[in-house]
Each structure stands twice: as structure tokens, then as C-alpha cells.
Amino acid sequence: MKSYILKRLFHSIFVLVGISLVVFIILHLTGDPAALLMPMDATPEQVAQFRKEMGFTDPIIVQYWRFFKGTLMGDFGQSFRHSQPALDLVMERMPATIQLTAAAMFIALLVAIPVGIISAIRRNSILDHIGMTGALLGQSTPVFWLGIMLILIFSVNLQWFPSSGRGGIQNLVLPAITLGMFTMARTARMMRSSMLEVLGQEYMKTAKAKGLTPRAVILKHALKNASIPVVTIVGMELGTLLGGAVITETIFAWPGVGRLAVQAIYNRDYPVVQAAVFILAAIFVLVNLIVDILYTYLDPRVKLK
């Protein structure tokens, strides 16, 4: 067990180093970052001076090592636009993104798990058809369009919820539904197929033969086993949610890391872009590490390789 956790930890660190490398490369894709970072009207002398100051004249390995050391210390440099360290800017926005992502995950699971279970128990019934058609539609709806349509219906026409900004729970409803829809749809389908698989197992017959009520069979025996694969989904879907948050935050003017990153990209504020991308990716890696470790507790059959 310990060696498994150590191995997973080592693996996660490796992935984080890889991420820092990719984040570093993005800035160097065009060849000369100085040209990107300096204002358009800078003189060649200014550009040369800047290049020297920033260390862009050093060999690329030296530059990466410097960037990597900075990353370890949480130092991504100063934002060009706001005179603040890039990491501080990202961290300021982090609570908003975590709130939105958590709310989206909550709504998704709240709907998806019952829908999946009912669809599986009442297989091929009207309820199953409605549930799975809904899930299919949910998986096919682009996040950005769903957000706009929700604003059109619930903010513009019905005026039930505000269309932008962060504040009370009212502000959270539309963005959370928008962001959670895809995960909701996928989890519902996953829950259904996982449940169907469990229902077909021999031990379900045993449970029934013991004379348990159908309710006890479902709740005590089926549900527990069927939820194991769904736990991994929570980890996997986090990537979808963090990615989706970029678009959702832009649509609803939600002051989170995703919106900050998009704005920073448009403003060519690269230290902020690097910090945001790195932190979001790091969160994903950490959560998956935790999920993997939890998983081994939930399902002793998982081989600890």
C-alpha cells in the first residue's frame, strides 16, 4: 500500500514537471518571447535590453531551469498588466473557480445518480427512455450555447436569475447548471451501465433468494458496488469541469481563474497565463492522486501495481 502511494506520488510529480515544461514551451513557441512581451512600438534597443534583462539570451535549458525553480517557489513572475505577482492574481480568483466547479459537480451528481439508478432498475421503461434521451442531449449540447440559452430564458425573459457576476446563491445557479450539464449526462449514463452490470451479477440473485426486499437489494447490495466506477468519474470529470469553467466563467462574467486566464491570453500577460494553466493542471493531478488512493480503499479488488 505504502509503495503504491509512493509510486503514484512520484508519478504525479513527474506529470507536474511535464506540465511546467509545456507551459514554458508555450511562451517560446514563436521563437522570440521578447517580441511577444514588449509593446508594439518598442524600439529595437528596448527589445534587446528587455531580452537581456529577462534572460532570454541564455541557453534554453538555463531558461527552463530558472522557470522551473521559480515554479517550485510559486514564483511565476510579475503580471505585466497588474503590478502584482502572477500567482497572487491566480490565487485571488481561485475561490470563485472552486465554488463554481464544486457547485457544478454537486448538481451533476445530485441529478445523475438517481437518474442512472432509476434508468437501470426500470430498464426500457418510459422513465429510462426519457432519462437516457436527456443524457444524450446533455452530452451533445455545447457549454457556451447552453449558457447563452439559460441566460436568454431565465435572465432576459423570466428574470429569475442574474446573468452575470458572483454574489449570492442566485448568481451561482445558472453557471453551475451550465458547467455541470455535460458531467451530469455522462455520469447518468455511466451510473446506469454500472448498475446494470451489478444487477446481472450472481450475488444479486443470492440477495434476492435470501428474501430481501427489492429495496434492500438495490440500496444495500447493488448501489454500493455500482458506485465504485462512478467515484473515478469524479476525478476524471474534474478535468472536464476545470476546462469548461474557462468558457462558463467567460459567459457569466464569473470572476474565476478561467476568465482571468482568457483575459490574460488576450492581453498577452504571459506570467498570469503560465501561473493559471499550471495551477489548474496541478489541481487536476492532485485530485486524481487522491481519488486513486481512495479508490484502493473502496475497492480492494484493485491491484496495487
Question: What is the rounded distance in angstroms from the CA atom of residue 256 to the CA atom of residue 99?
Answer: 9
Query: Taking CB under 8 A as the criterion, which residues in 98-157 touch other proteins?
Result: 136-137, 139-146, 148-149, 151-152, 156
Show Cβ contacts of residue 129 under 8 Å, excluding neighbours closer than 6 positions.
none
The distance of closest approach from Cβ of residue 301 to other proteins in the complex, given in angstroms and rounded to an integer, is 18
Q: Using the CB atoms, write b or e for 290-300: b if 16+ within 10 Å.
A: ebbeeebeeee
Binding mask 160-199 for other proteins (x = CB under 8 A): ------------------------------x--x------
Q: Of 108 and 276, which CB lies nearer to other proteins in the complex structure?
A: 276
- Candidates 6, 7, 10, 11; binder of other proteins (CB under 8 A) is 11
- Candidates 216, 228, 253, 265; binder of other proteins (CB under 8 A) is 265
15, 153, 182 from 243: Cα distances, Å: 18, 25, 12
- Candidates 9, 13, 14, 290; binder of other proteins (CB under 8 A) is 14
Question: What is the rounded distance in angstroms from the CA atom of residue 97 to the CA atom of residue 169?
Answer: 14
Q: For residue 215, count CB atoms less than 10 angstroms from its CB and return exposed for 0-12, middle for 13-18, buried for 19 or more.
A: exposed
Would you tell me the crossing angle of helices 86-121 and 257-266 to the nearest 10 degrees?
130
The distance of closest approach from Cβ of residue 206 to other proteins in the complex, given in angstroms and rounded to an integer, is 26
Q: Specify the stretch interacting with other proteins by CB under 8 A; choose among 170-178, 202-210, 212-220, 260-268.
A: 260-268
38 three-state secondary structure: coil
Contact between residue 182 and residue 239 where contact means Cβ atoms under 8 Å apart: no
What residue has cell string 517557489? 73
- Dihedral sign (CA 28, 31, 32, 36): negative
The distance of closest approach from Cβ of residue 19 to other proteins in the complex, given in angstroms and rounded to an integer, is 6
Q: For residue 280, count CB atoms less than 10 angstroms from its CB and return exposed for 0-12, middle for 13-18, buried for 19 or more.
A: buried
Q: Of 152 and 231, which CB lies nearer to other proteins in the complex structure?
A: 152
235 part of the interface to other proteins, by CB under 8 A: no
The distance of closest approach from Cβ of residue 98 to other proteins in the complex, given in angstroms and rounded to an integer, is 14
Q: Of 12 and 296, which CB lies nearer to other proteins in the complex structure?
A: 12
In DSSP notation, 128-183 reads: HHHHHHHHHHHHHS-HHHHHHHHIIIIIIIS--S-SS---SHHHHHHHHHHHHHHH
The distance of closest approach from Cβ of residue 155 to other proteins in the complex, given in angstroms and rounded to an integer, is 9
Q: Of 66 and 268, which CB lies nearer to other proteins in the complex structure?
A: 268
- Candidates 30, 83, 124, 159; binder of other proteins (CB under 8 A) is 30
Residues that bind other proteins (CB under 8 A): 11, 14-15, 18-19, 22, 26-27, 29-30, 36, 136-137, 139-146, 148-149, 151-152, 156, 190, 193, 239, 242-247, 250-251, 258, 261-262, 265-266, 268, 273, 276-277, 280-281, 284-285, 288
